[in-house]
Amino acid sequence: MGFNEKLHAYIAARFYVRLTHTFGEKGKAAFIYATQYYAEQRGRRMAMRAIQDGQPLTYETYRAYGEWESTKDMQEEGCANRSETVSTDPVYEFHVTVCPWHEEFKTLGLEEAGLTYCAHLDNSIARGFNPYLVYEVPQTLHDCPFCVQKVSNLQGLAPGQTAQGAFDPAKARPEPDRRRGFTYHCAHSYWSYARCAARIFGRAGRQLADEVLEDISGEWGASYSNFLLKYKADDFEMI
């Protein structure tokens, strides 16, 4: 099994555990901050690619420029992300009924970590992409039968702004140029939490990040943690 959605969830879960156990409520606040930091960088990468292609920063563009797709591992396990659209106008609403992140948080017995993570992830990706999109996650699989995600102001217009053009699929960059493998996504996640922990808590934060790396090595294997170290100097906001 390679880098996948469950390792991505495991990284966040271990940072949540170690941050909250070490620093209490301050640690939880740091976890939320780091989740938002990570997610907003993803959104900004998407926006920069869209701008390169002359695309408006609408919700349609946001969906087209998403950076991940379900891995073969999760498809084979039968827990690949599954959702259904229930409304498109005036609010775009969809329900997520199966999610590998939820499965991993549940397996770890860390539903609280999952609730915190999912409450701040997708809305922060959207905020990084275009802060005028209104993205809400009123419930998640961690404590409800399905996740609800809603988006309004689908054109992403600022007050007083008028539409600058429609999404043009013909101009969109081919899919392989937009997608990122989960090796990259896991590295981005780990180093986002590690850097935020170090900036907020100094030496104690750096030690905590090293301990999470040891957790990954112990649970998934040294090859995974060693590979993450190769991304230590990367700027994850570069496209």
| pLDDT (0 to 100) of residue 164 | 74
Confidence of residue 165 (pLDDT cuts 50, 70, 90): confident
Confidence of residue 175 (pLDDT cuts 50, 70, 90): low
Q: How far is CA 71 from CA 105, 108, 146, in A?
A: 18, 20, 21
Tally of CB atoms within 10 A around 60: 17
Contacts of residue 221, defined as CB under 8 A and 6 or more positions apart, other chains included, come to none
The domain segmentation of the chain, as residue ranges, is: 5-167+179-229
| pLDDT (0 to 100) of residue 168 | 76
What pLDDT, in 10s, does the model give residues 192-201?
999 999 999 9
What pLDDT, in 10s, does the model give residues 137-164?
999 999 999 999 999 999 999 998 888 7
Global confidence as pTM? 0.95
Q: What is the mean pLDDT of residues 52-74?
A: 94
Q: Which two tokens stand for residue 209?
A: 């990040």
| pLDDT (0 to 100) of residue 104 | 98
Q: What is the mean pLDDT of residues 179-199?
A: 96
